[in-house]
Amino acid sequence: MIAVIDYGVGNLFSVSKAVEASGATVEVTGDPDRIRAAEKLILPGVGAFGDCMKNLRAAGLDGVILEEIGRGTPLMGICVGLQILFEGSEESPNVAGLGVFKGVVRKIRAEGLKVPHMGWNSIAVAADNPSAEKYFIPPARPQQFSTVNDSRSYFYFVHSYHAVPEDRTLIAATTDYGEKLTAAVARDNIFAVQFHPEKSGDVGLQLLKNFVGRA
Helix axes 201-213, 12-21, angle to 10 degrees: 70
**Strand 154-159 relative to strand 117-122: parallel, antiparallel, unpaired?**
antiparallel
Catalytic site residue from 117, 159, 162, 196: 196
Let me know: does 165 contact 187? Beta carbons within 8 Å: no
Neighbours of 114 (CB within 10 A): 12
Neighbours of 158 (CB within 10 A): 14
Residue 196 is classified by DSSP as B
Catalytic site residue from 52, 68, 79, 162: 79
Let me know: does 27 contact 3? Beta carbons within 8 Å: yes
Active site residue 117: no
Residue 102 is classified by DSSP as S
Active site residue 179: no
Active site residue 159: no
Q: Which residues are catalytic?
A: 79, 196, 198
